Structure formats: C-alpha cells, structure tokens
Amino acid sequence: MKRVEILNRLEKTGVVAVIRANSKEEALKSSHAVVKGGLTGIELTFTVPQAEDVIRELATYYKNQPEVVVGAGTVLDGATARLAIMSGAEYVVSPWFDKETAEVCNLYQIPYLPGCMTITEIKEAMKSGVDIVKLFPGGAFGPSIVSAFKAPLPQINIMPTGGVSLDNMAGWFEAGVITVGVGGNLLAPAEKGDFEGVTEVAKQYAAKYAEIKGK
C-alpha cells in the first residue's frame, strides 16, 4: 500500500528538514546540502517561490534514492495539496488541520501531517485518517506534552516542528515522537549563501539521530 510504504520511509528519516528559502535556487541548493549531510526527509514549504517546480526537480533528482522522501509543507488548502502531489510530493504538511486537504491526500494515498496544538484538534485530524500529527509549534510545549497526549490517545504518531534543536532532540524521542521537523537553525547558513555550512549542521543532526537510535 503506497501510503504505508511512504510512512515507513518517512519514519526512517528521523529528522525532516523544513526548507524555507527566498528563491527556487536557494531552496534547491539547501535541499541538496541537507541530503549531502545525511538527512533524507525534505519538507519543501509553499512559501518558497515556484515551490511546485522545486518539488518536481527534487522528486526527479532523487527518484532512484528511495531513502530520500520529498514532501510539501505550508499547504493551506486542497488545491495546493493536489498541485504538490501532482508535482511529486510524497507527503503533505499543513500548519493546521484542513478537512479538504485530508480528503485530497486520502484520494491519492498520500500521508497528511497537519499541525495540531490541542487534543481536540488531534481527535478531529485522526477521524479524517491522519497518520502523523505535526505538533506545532513544538517549542510552545516541550517534550512533556507528548506523554500528556499519548495518555488518552496512545496510538498517535507525533512529529514536533518548531523549537526542536540538537540539544533537546533526544528528549523528544525519549518522549515517544515518531520523527522531528527541523528548520531555522539547520538552514541559517543558507541565508548567507553558505550551503556547505548547511551540510555541516545536517551532519550534526544525522549523527545525533544515529546516537539516539543507537545506530
């Protein structure tokens, strides 16, 4: 089943790089820099100019590297979700739960990861077939919220995004998250055109994840 296969690959990535950039070129260079550093989950946000073209190029480039999973982020509605999927996105991420987006993703057997902040939002998302809930912004809670959510809903898969760092990443995984999303501090060097710097930070995250998982 396509969706289950993508979910398994997404879980294996461990760390999803949330790519924001001011241009198509910067987004492509940042994405390649991240993969070069050993992170294989890419969430290309629709705040990037020509986001669908970037997704298409990345999906084509990494077609023969199944460990690399390319998805779309900051997807606000069903029309954008379909555009992302047609461009090659293998999963779709939203800052909040949107029922229309969930339906489009279900139609195409694509995992949908909506941002949720409350147990009520998580319940509504799960009723619409959501497999992984994006805890956003993660920095507003901290890892302790995971056990609070998992007490009544032990079956939920959580991906915190926002506020995840090298220092607190282990705490999130110890709390029981399935994967984490990392953006700002990972891509900070790219703002100065330092893509080798992005690769170096990515290597640190990849090494930290391997250490956490005892690989």
pLDDT one-digit tens code per residue, 157-199: 999 999 999 999 999 999 999 999 999 899 999 999 999 999 9
**pLDDT digit string (tens) for 119-149?**
999 999 999 999 999 998 898 889 999 999 9
- Residues in contact with 17: Cβ distance below 8 Å, sequence separation at least 6, in sequence order: 30, 31, 34, 39, 41, 42, 43, 182, 183, 186, 187, 202
Domain 2-207: CATH architecture, name and number where available: Alpha-Beta Barrel (3.20)
- Residues in contact with 148: Cβ distance below 8 Å, sequence separation at least 6, in sequence order: none
Residue 141: predicted pLDDT: 87
Share of the chain above pLDDT 90, in %: 94
Cβ neighbours, 10 Å, residue 171: 16
Residue 215: predicted pLDDT: 61
- pTM (2 decimals)? 0.96
Residue spans of the domains in the chain: they are 2-207
**pLDDT digit string (tens) for 42-64?**
999 999 999 999 999 999 999 99
